[in-house]
Chains A and B, each alone.
Chain A
Amino acid sequence: MLDNQSLYKTMLRIRRFEERALAEFSTGKLFGTTHAYIGQEADAAGIFAAADPGDVVFSNHRCHGHFIAYGGDPYRLAAELMGKATGLVGGRGGSQHIQWRNFYSNGIQGGIVPVAAGMALAEKVQNTGKVALVFTGDGTLGEGVFYESLNIASLWKLPVVFVVENNRYAQTTPVELALSGSICGRFAAFDIPAWERDTTDVLEVRAAAAEAVGYARAQTGPVGLILRTYRFAAHSKGDDVRAPSEIAAFKDKDPLTVHAPRLGDDERARIEAEVAAEIEEAFTRAASDPFPMMKDEK
């Protein structure tokens, strides 16, 4: 089990990475777009504190936080965002399409969900003891294939953890305009046990994730893990139409603020300095790396 310092450090690494990534658009080092995880760090830090290092992960367009909490190298991710040859996938994928070890991400809503179910099936028939975790959001629940996947995962008892990070907005559309019924009820309809938490406390997320992941592994079956959270950053870069007062009202739920009192001032200062140096090193080093060349394609 990760201690409080490690959890704080994981969340801070995500926060500082995302802040730096957003800032690098104005320097021209990043182009295109990105989807920052700022505000949701407790989810990734808590879940990966509960999962096994060998578990299989399929993440989505907002994948940086998951990747860093999974144990990924911020330097390789920064290089990927910059389109460098040294990036995770050589600059071919960019922000939303990365792959490293058992971590995968894709930028299509919904489509990754059956893929994760299939991964869980493969792990099951090969008796690896691994579970598959797939990250979705409230917006993903509009996609029909999500429900096809719940159905099959329940029928075939696939060890897959369906994470729903409900950050209350699908791009700009509030959940009230896009989602009928309850999220928990969706899992109940398929007889899939689900853990639902309205929290940004990493310890509470970790506890729920430990139960959910543990259940999926022990029972070799699917579970839901529904986490109500809030994203402080825009959906991508400049597309935020929420009232500043609404965002401000959530600031006391900032996962870093919630967790910070569990650390001493000195510990926090030390972690802050370590993370700052790491992120600086990651982006500086990535910036000086070469761009990729086209390979000879068959």
Chain B
Amino acid sequence: MPTVLERLNHALHHALETDPRVHLLGEDILDPYGGAFKVTRGLSTDFPDRVHTTPISEAAIVGVANGMALRGLRPVAEIMFGDFVTLAADQLVNHAAKFRWMYNDNVRVPLVVRTPMGGRRGYGPTHSQSLEKFFLGVPGLKVVAPNTLGDPADLLAAAIAADDPVLFIEHKLLYTRPLLEAGVGDLRDMQIETAGGPYPAHLLRFTPHSHLTIATYGYNFELARQAALDLLYEHEIFAEIVLFSQLSPFNIDPLLESVQRTGRLLTVDEGTLSLGWGAEVISRIVERSNDLSRYYVSRVAALDLPIANSKALEDEILPSQEKITEAAIELYHEEGASHQSSR
């Protein structure tokens, strides 16, 4: 199977080939280097007039892309490391995300900002973060994260074709991962249901009678999937996974349906724990319930610390398969397990 990187590169190539309005902007994206993570490799060779290498100017990269989007083009901007997206926050929050609504739908902003997030490569405090939490809930801004289950090329193609701005979060560790194949390997014993529009949510389960639900997105699905297999084969706990592609705004229904069956929800993401993605997900589940005592919830996320350079410390700070497994076992044994089995 192709890797996530190959699929993203393919989507960009296809977009440039089929739509003359598509332009790429970013730092160090020209061949032969082809971008820090090689997502843009080959593109400047094939489309030299529409692949623009930029100075180190994140605010201006996204600002220029904004202006291009307002005036008939379809720019795709790359921010080399997601940590640097804070430098472009004004452009995303106060410009791109606002223009359409603020101007009473007079304009559209078909902008895509792609950026790699995530740790575990030993890059330390300013090149390892998952900062997407700061951009969740910004009105007018869609936040999308690919994974190994849906085709990342489809997600990126949809984002480029969309008439409104999309922040596209690519976890660094996904790039070299091959796409999964239904019925094969890790997915051999899992049933998969996919729901939703261009950025769907996926439900993966071994049985209709799961003990708990794990909600996650992006690379952390890799960890959650391994944890689910471990929980099944080592602990006889059936965990089902709801995997989101669209983080904001988002539809809670696919997860709600799952949690209503299992009664137990574990959220897994790589942003810092406090006031993060998991908190919003759990809030939405709870506010849709008329019996709060039905649900047991828990979160696995990064510790509320910068991400250390030392692997020994970084491993402690970030989520891992072991932490997910441990949290799931704990959640499974929460008081009230009887009402699980009574069903």
Contact = CB atoms under 8 A, between A and B. Distances in A.
B252 to A, nearest CB: 16
Interface in B184-237: none
Which residue among B52, B70, B72, B95 has the maximum number of chain A CB atoms within 10 Å of its CB? B70
Contacts of A148: 55, 57, 59-60, 63
Interface residues of A, number: 39
Nearest to A130: B71
Contact of A114 (B91, B98, B104): B91
Given A125-B73, A144-B59, A148-B59, A89 B103 contact: yes
Contact of A117 (B64, B98, B99, B102): B64
A118 B91 contact: no
Contacts of B62: 114
Contacts of B59: 111, 114, 144-145, 148
Interface string B38-75: 00000000000100101101011011111111111101
Contact of A118 (B71, B90, B101): B71
Q: Is the interface of B mostly helix, strand, loop or mixed?
A: helix
Interface in A97-123: 97-100, 104, 106, 108, 110-123
Contact of A119 (B71, B98, B99): B71
Nearest to A117: B64
A122 B66 contact: no
A112 B55 CA distance: 18
A120 B103 contact: no
Contacts of A58: 67
Interface in B231-274: none
A152 B103 CA distance: 27
B199 to A, nearest CB: 14
Given A92-B101, A93-B103, A148-B57, A118 B95 contact: no
A11 interface: no
Interface string A267-296: 000000000000000000000000000000
A92 B102 contact: yes
A121 B64 CA distance: 8
B181 to A, nearest CB: 34
Given A99-B106, A114-B67, A117-B67, A108 B94 contact: yes
Contacts of B68: 118-119, 121-122
Contacts of A155: 55
A250 interface: no
A77 B9 CA distance: 46
A152 B64 contact: yes
Interface in A21-68: 56, 58
Contacts of A156: 52
Contacts of B98: 97, 106
Contact of B94 (A56, A99, A111, A123): A111
Contacts of B70: 104, 115, 118-119, 122
Nearest to A292: B104
B67 A120 contact: yes
A100 B107 CA distance: 10
A93 B64 contact: no
A131 to B, nearest CB: 12
A115 B98 CA distance: 13
A297 B72 CA distance: 25
A151 interface: yes
A38 B90 CA distance: 29
A157 B124 CA distance: 38
Given A56-B71, A115-B63, A117-B67, A89 B106 contact: yes
B104 A117 contact: no
A100 B64 CA distance: 20
Given A117-B64, A151-B57, A152-B54, A122 B72 contact: yes
B71 A114 contact: no
Contacts of B66: 114-115, 118
Contacts of A145: 57, 59-60, 63, 90
A106 B104 contact: no
A96 B72 CA distance: 24
B63 A117 contact: yes
A90 interface: yes
Contact of B95 (A93, A111, A117): A111
Contacts of A104: 70, 99, 103, 107
Contacts of A110: 90
Nearest to A99: B103
A149 interface: yes
Contact of A126 (B65, B72, B75): B72
Contacts of B106: 89, 99-100
9 cross-chain pairs, A with B, having the tightest CB-CB distances, nearest first? A118-B67, A114-B63, A122-B71, A148-B60, A118-B64, A148-B57, A99-B103, A119-B67, A90-B104
7 contacts: A58-B67, A89-B103, A90-B104, A120-B67, A122-B67, A125-B73, A145-B60
Interface of A: 56, 58, 88-90, 92-93, 97-100, 104, 106, 108, 110-123, 125-126, 132, 144-145, 148-149, 151-152, 155-156
Interface of B: 23, 49, 52, 54-55, 57, 59-60, 62-73, 75, 90-91, 94-95, 98-99, 101-104, 106-107
